[in-house]
Every structure is written in structure tokens, then in C-alpha cells.
Amino acid sequence: MTGEEIVKKIQELKKERDAVILVHNYQPPEIQDIADHLGDSLDLSRLAQRLPNKVIIFCGVHFMAETAAILSPEKKVILPEPTAGCPMADMLSDADLAEVKRAYPDAVVVSYVNSTARVKAITDICCTSANALKVVESIEEGRKIIFGPDQHLANWVSSRSKREIIPWKGFCPSHIRIMPDEIIEKKKMYPDAKVMVHPECTSKITALADEVCGTGQMIKYAGASDASTFIVGTEVGMIYRLKTLYPEKEFIPASENAVCKNMKKITLEKVLSSLESLEPVITVEPEIAERARAAIERMIEIV
């Protein structure tokens, strides 16, 4: 089948299956183009709760589909490519976190939503890149805070808070590929450009930014700014999303090397196959899901 024929078949099956296609901002252009809803991981998972559809086709990586399954246990959540994982999320296991908790028994655990369900299940409060500082500041003063899995997000929050943060040494392989020299060179090429970068970048990169924010905030910042050119320090899939929303503005990737191979594993053929078979379904054990849901809901109450 041609690409057009596959897309047509996807649209037909979507109606038959009572399915909705949720797509993360880092997905390939052809996957973004078939989305019913585009966004970041938590916003999409919360949206899945509110939508009436019985089937969620989640085009992202494994922890995202897991989060959707945690928040919508009555729905069928399908990840078209089950090997699409998140290296950063896999850098912190529940056993690792339990060991750190034993070392700091009075500490509060804050886990980035980019974590596994089992890690969320032994977490006190989850956070996103957008609300991490607010979550940390909500914790009573004097309490140590275990923060994982991303050390760079932890360090960025720590630089803006007086709270004592114990970071786990995880990182996003895509974001750490962005080098300071690349941004410095592009700022010379585009002197009027605004630089916006993700807090998963290293501190050397965030120090060069006009705005440090998650993907949802990048969309808002680019839309509200008077600037016409932006250097974008995050996974390159975000460039297509921004250009689609603001075709009159120019968006330059901070680095062409900031590519998440896992985010590029989902194809039109795999989306079609998942609608045909309603597989592979992502499930979370009820007890794990219940505890993980509580950590997410505490975050939502705070922010």
C-alpha cells in the first residue's frame, strides 16, 4: 500500500475500533500528521482519561503508554512499537530507588514522569519538566528530596531552589548530545534568534538559553514571543511541530544530533497493524498502578 492508502485505512479502522491516536511532539512528521491530539507525555495521558474512546493508540515511548494505562485502567492502551523505550527511564529501577530511600529514610521522593510505573509506585510525588520547581518548592522546608531519574532536570531545579536535592545520575542521551559550541555558532548565524532549550540539557546548555522549558512551554513561548527566529534545544522532532504551528517563524535545531531513535521507531505501517490487531496492549499490575496513580495525582493537586 502507498502512504496515502495506509493513512486512509488507519482513519477507517480508527472509527471501527473506537480508537484515538495520541502522538508525542518528538514523533516523525508522518505520525504527527495522523494525530488526533499532539502534546507532551503527561498532557496526552491526562487527555486519554477524559476522552470517550475505548482504545488509545499512544505514539510515543513505553513509559508514556504506561502512564496512560495507569490513569485509564478501563481503557485499552496500545503502543504500536513495544521496543520503543526510554533509556533515561530505564536508568532508575525500583530496586535502585528503594536503596536510595533506605539511605535517606526521611527524604521525600520526587520522580520525573519519565520513569517506569514501578518507580512511580514508590514515589511520593511525580513532576514534569514544566512543574518540577513548583513540586519541589511545595515540599516542607528541611526535608531532603530524592530526585530522579534525570540529573540535569534535578540540577536545573536545584539552581533555582534552596531545597536539598539528592539527584539520581540518569540522563537523556538525546539532550546531552547538544553541545555548547553548536548553540554559540548558531547564535552568531542568527543574532536575533531566541534560544529555548529543554531542562534535560546540561547546565552548560541551559546557561546559554533565553528560556528553559518543556515542549508544551516551547509552543507557548514561540507563539507569544515577538521574535521570528528560534534556536531549539530539544529532540529534533519538535522542529516539525513548531513549524506546523507557526509557519511564519523560523525554527533551527540546536543540534541535528539530538535524535531519539526510540521515538522514531513507530511507523504508519505499525500504527495500522496495531489498529488491525489491537496489540500490543500496555498493562500495569493493579497494585503498582494504584500506587503510581497516587503519586501522579499528588502532583496534579499541587500544580
pLDDT given at position 1: 81
Quick: pLDDT tens for 282-294: 999 999 999 999 9
User: Of 43, 122, 85, 128, whose CA–CA distance to 288 is shortest?
Assistant: 122
Residue 276: domain span? 3-84+263-284
Q: Are residues 103 and 121 in the same domain?
A: yes
* Angstrom distance (rounded) from CA 185 to CA 188: 5
Do residues 24 and 40 lie in contact, with contact meaning Cβ atoms separated by under 8 Å?
yes
pLDDT digits (tens, 9 = 90+) for 74-116: 999 999 999 999 999 999 999 999 999 999 999 999 999 999 9
Angle 61-206-217 (CA atoms, 0-180°, nearest 5)?
Answer: 55
Q: Averaged over 33-41, what is the pLDDT?
A: 95
Burial environment of residue 102 by CB neighbours within 10 A (0 to 12, 13 to 18, 19 or more): exposed
- Is the same domain home to 254 and 269? no
Within this chain, do residues 128 and 267 fall inside the same structural domain, yes or no? no
Q: Is the pLDDT score of 42 beyond 90?
A: no
pLDDT tops 90 at residue 56: yes
* pLDDT value for 277: 97
Residue 194 sits in the same domain as residue 235: yes
Residues 119 and 188 in one domain: no
**What is the pLDDT, as a whole number, of residue 303?**
78
| Pair 292, 167 in one domain | yes
pLDDT in tens, 213-265: 999 999 999 999 999 999 999 999 999 999 999 999 999 999 999 999 999 99
Same domain for 255 and 267? no
Question: pLDDT at position 41, please?
Answer: 86
Say yes or no to pLDDT of 3 above 90. no
**One domain for residues 183 and 244:** yes
Extract the C-alpha cell encoding 225: 514571543
User: Are 159 and 230 contained in the same domain?
Assistant: no
One domain for residues 7 and 80: yes
Whether 193 and 231 have beta carbons less than 8 Å apart is answered as yes
- How many structural domains are present in the chain? 3
Do 206 and 277 reside in the same domain of the chain? no
> What is the spatial distance between Cα 68 and Cα 279, in angstroms, rounded to a whole number?
15
pLDDT in tens, 136-195: 999 999 999 999 999 999 999 999 999 999 999 999 999 999 999 999 999 999 999 999
Residues 68 and 109 in one domain: no
Residue burial 164-193, b: 16+ Cβ < 10 Å; e: rest: ebbbbebbbbbbbbbbeebbeebeeebeeb
**What single-letter DSSP state applies at residue 280?**
P
CATH of the domain at 220: 3.40.50.10800
